[in-house]
Amino acid sequence: MMDRMPTDQAQANAVFVAHGLTKIYRMGEVEVHALRGIDLTLNRGELVVLLGPSGSGKSTLLNILGGLDAPSGGEVRYLDHALTDASEAELTRFRREHVGFVFQFYNLIPSLTARENVAAVTEIAESPMRPEDALALVGLGNRLDHFPAQLSGGEQQRVAIARAVAKNPAVLLCDEPTGALDSATGVVVLEVLEKVNRELGTLTVLITHNAGIADMADRVIRLSDGRIADIHANAVKKAAHELSW
Amino acid sequence: MRALDRKLFRDLWHLRGQVLAIAAVIMGGVATMVMSLSTYDSLTTTRDRFYSEYRFAEVFASLKRAPEPVAERLAALPGVERVESRVMAGVKLEVEGFSDPITGQLLSLPDVGEAQLNRLHLKRGRSVQPWSSDEVVLSDTFADAHGFQPGDRLAAIINGKRKQLTVVGVAVSPEYVYQIAPGSMFPDFKRYGVLWMGRNALAAAYDMEGAFNQVSLILARGAHEQDVIDRVDAVLGTYGGTGAYGRKNQFSNRFLSEELKQLQTMATVFPAIFLGVAAFLLNVVLSRLIALQRDQIAILKAFGYPYLAIGAHYVKLVLLMAVLGVAGGVALGAWFGQGLSNVYMETTFRFPYLDYRLNAGVILVALGISAFAAVSGTLFSVARAVRLPPAEGMRPEMPVAYRATLVERIGLQRWFSAPTRMILRHIERRPLKSLLTVLGIACACGLMMVGNYQKGAIDFMVDVQFKQSAREDLALAFIEPTSGRALYELAALPGIYFVEGFRDVPAILRFGHYEHRAALFGIQPEGQLHRSLDRTLQPVALPPGGVVLTDHLANKILHVKPGDMLTVEVLEGRRPVLQVPVLGITKQYLGVSAYMQQESLNALMREGSTMSGAYLAVEPGTEAELYARLHERPRVLGMVANKAAIQSFYATIGEFILFYNLVATLLAGAIGFGVVYNSARIALSERGRELASLRVLGFTRGEIAYILLGELALLTLAAIPVGFLVGIGLVGILIVAFQNELYRLPLLLTPENYAMGAAVVIVSALLSALLLWLRLGRLDLVAVLKTRE
């Protein structure tokens, strides 16, 4: 399959452009080819689902896009910056200014309240939204001063989303955000992601091995064995509340 | 190897940094204990062997002069096994090329046969030949200080007559294991020597032919010492006896006993602190380890491992750390012990040999105490691990519950950034753990202060003694009590610009059943040179008609207070027994003294203005000439120059101070680093995921280091003032434990002591911070996305 968008328009809208990305892990004497040549463009405002079984390379790809890992070969650009050549300090600044992360296990700071978890990030961001607004966006305007231990799993994940979007990032990277949640709670979290994507226009990349979630994406990228097996655009996006698994 | 044991060694290897830090702390405790106990054992064994092999006497008596048959009367007394009479003479010595005054003690050796008691151990040369007239054996301290070899010559002024002596041997004696000139505060090997010569030759020179003035004896089996002393006193009373005394009042032996008592104190107080801290560290590390391994423990239990096996597994882990620490501690302690014993041998005590002894018992006690501390410290955590139901163990732990801290609840939260709040809440969530960490670090600070305390304390004691109280440059003793007119002659000598006479009378002071052998010192009521000091170290005028006692003598030895009547049994002249009121108590750090106005003492003794000696102020630069002039005067028995005494004291004590400083620094460093590094490592392993998450969210390494190290810094800073208090407390314990007749340490900590205490903590913290900073660079950012706690 090919990206059918005209080149100049693609250039104008592209947030990430990757060419020939490879990643080889050396585990003792065994080489693991996690990525075997990925070409990919991700655009402004898109909601993209990366789908694939365990070991297909989707997390590796997400980590490289998020500046957490460096590819073994190929190149990846964020807007007009080459991530491939960036130093550790530049990657830290990139994550700080442009990337919002949502983790499978929320990774909230247990010693900070919901508001403060968000504030921890907005305090170091350039033009963030108010923590209260970010929490209102995820429907937790009434849980501002609760500590993680006082919140349910779904609520904790929504705080994590608020924390990720509060700095107004260009991209929101979510690694199995519903992986630790039951389906009803998972749907609520997906609704929040959908809302953020729609209202803030943030490029949202969502990793899952749950094919049911793919129906809410603009585009679905299927990975298998370190290669892109298939990219398809959903003609009709389903709303998150219509999903079930 | 069983799988569980393999896990044991893997865990040890995995935790190696912490294991080493904990072992270092245990090592510190064990090393101090082994050092003190082995030195104690060695010196005790050596002393006992030396005393018995060389027949150290049990009762001693000095007298003016008695004909030899009196010794036979003493030998016939019930309870006396063996008697040896001797001639003993205080002498002035002349060593070529050394102008300072030297005093000596000359003792007779029998011309026929070997000495029965207080035998000499010859280190070099031979003993004196029978009937030889000029041969002497020197004490090894004096010989070594001046480099005397057999064949060398020196001169002695015996009874006002100069006599040339030939050195034939160098020896040590059980009577002079600790050598100090009568009336002086510290040993001075250059300016005081003990010499032995043939009885006949000494008696001829000292007008003691057919007579003796000193006697030593050994008790028959089952004899009661005090009874024998009373009988000896009854016999010698008419011969000018100054009162017989047992070993416990024999000066060398008394000092040795005091020093050994202190070693014992050191062997209990310090290891207790170290092992306490080690137990705390083990507890903290083990609780954390078990928290991290709760799923593994659950799986082991699910497999069917019995509780006991799992419990035993963790107990073994702790014991291995303890054994590591004990092994290191025994090795280090034995090394320190040998070092300390040698320092004692070189500077303080003269034994012919050293039986260095590291008893298996000491090692077992060290092992037992360490194992007990370690196991008791971890038992709670282990019990909790064993009780955990498998299913619960395999579930992830709930997020830890936090709450806003006190400072935030009272409205200060807007001043704190999110990272600062994390620090404060983390500290406040586990107040006990934070407190224990602070206490652990504080112990390091306190120990460092104790280790460095002695130098300042000694400076202070010397300053008080020689700049405030005994300010004379030279103390002169006359051969016998002399008319006060002698002072005018002295004052007329060139170089002397001030003279103050004193009278000292040997006496036994009694109050109730307490007694003390000492001299009554008659000094000038408002003396310029020799003064007594009040509680605030200001000179006080002595009141007439009674006695003023130094604090230790009044409070701890005689238990008297001003207004009480003291019984004074004078041991000189007609030996009156007098009732003298106690008029006051004065402060003195070195030695103990009983002071009176000289005139009052003369009146008590029913004598005219009489002096035993004089304190002199000497013009700088005239010393050598003055010493030579005084040396020529037949009535001058001996001189003690304070400045020289202080210098030689510092030379001897310097080695001790250096040794203790080294030991204290090593051990305080071990504790400081052990506590700080372990706290930091635990904090990192507890919060690694949290910190890595923040790194992923775009926090820099510096920003997450602030969260981790900020907590460490806060606890370290809090620990410093607490450490100062611990230091003051430990010094207080030291002072109480070490107070004795010879000296009392002052509660005085110098700014340097505080600085050293703080420095050891700060350096440990910086080192730990550096290691942590390196670790923060290796945080696995990718792993946190995937793994739950």
B chain contacts of residue A109, beta-carbon cutoff 8 Å: 418, 422, 690, 693-694
pLDDT at A2: 40
Nearest to B551 by CA among B733, B567, B185, B540: B540
Residue of B nearest to A117 (CA): B418
Q: Which residues contact B504 (CB under 8 A, 6 or more apart)?
A: B519, B520, B521, B522, B612, B613
CA distance B210 to B214: 13
Least confident of A187-196, B376-385, B757-766, B776-785: B376-385
Nearest to B59 by CA among B277, B297, B247: B247
Over 70: is that where the pLDDT of B398 sits?
no
CA distance B474 to B773: 62
Using only C-alpha atoms, what is the Rg of chain B? 33
Over 50: is that where the pLDDT of B789 sits?
no
pLDDT at B281: 67
CA distance B19 to B557: 49
Over 60: is that where the pLDDT of A1 sits?
no
Q: What is the ipTM of this complex?
A: 0.81
pLDDT at A4: 43
Q: Which pLDDT tens digit goes with each residue over A185-237? A: 889 889 989 998 999 899 999 999 888 899 999 999 999 999 999 999 998 88
**Contact, B519 vs B594, CB < 8 A?**
yes
Residue of A nearest to B424 (CA): A111
| A66 part of contact set with chain B, CB < 8 Å | yes
Higher-confidence residue of B79 and B452: namely: B79
| A93 part of contact set with chain B, CB < 8 Å | yes
> Which 3 state secondary structure label does DSSP give B133?
coil
In our burial notation (b when 16+ CB lie closer than 10 A, e otherwise), range B523-560 reads bbbebebbbbbeeebebbebbeebbbbbebbbeebbeb
Between positions 243 and 302 of B, the ones with CB within 8 A of A are: none
Query: Which residue of A109, A113, A124, A171 to mutate against B (max B Cβ within 10 Å)?
Result: A109
Contact A68 B781 (CB under 8 A): yes
Query: Which residue of B785, B787, B788 to mutate against A (max A Cβ within 10 Å)?
Result: B785
Contact B403 A105 (CB under 8 A): no
| A69 part of contact set with chain B, CB < 8 Å | yes
Nearest to A104 by CA among B257, B691, B782: B782
Q: What percent of chain A is predicted at pLDDT more than 90? A: 46
Provide the pLDDT confidence category of residue B247 given band limits of 50, 70 and 90.
very high
Least confident of A40-54, B584-598, B672-686: B672-686
A chain contacts of residue B788, beta-carbon cutoff 8 Å: 105, 180
Q: Which pLDDT tens digit goes with each residue over A6-30? A: 455 556 689 999 999 999 988 777 8
Axis crossing angle, helix B16-53 with helix B307-347, rounded to the nearest 10: 50
Residue of A nearest to B788 (CA): A105
CA distance B22 to B25: 5
Over 90: is that where the pLDDT of B197 sits?
yes
Provide the pLDDT confidence category of residue B721 given band limits of 50, 70 and 90.
very high
pLDDT at B561: 94
Cβ contacts below 8 Å, chain A against chain B, sum to 102
pLDDT at A211: 87
Least confident of B672-681, B691-700, B745-754: B672-681
Q: What is the pTM of this model?
A: 0.77
| A95 part of contact set with chain B, CB < 8 Å | yes
CA distance B596 to B600: 7
Contact B697 A59 (CB under 8 A): no
B chain contacts of residue A66, beta-carbon cutoff 8 Å: 696
Higher-confidence residue of B156 and B573: namely: B156
Q: Which pLDDT tens digit goes with each residue over B95-115? A: 988 888 888 999 999 988 888
Q: What is the mean pLDDT of residues B467-495?
A: 88
Q: Which pLDDT tens digit goes with each residue over A150-185? A: 999 899 999 999 999 998 899 999 988 988 888 888
Nearest to A92 among B418, B698, B782 (CB): B698
| A96 part of contact set with chain B, CB < 8 Å | yes
| B335 part of contact set with chain A, CB < 8 Å | no
Strands B539-540 and B577-586: unpaired
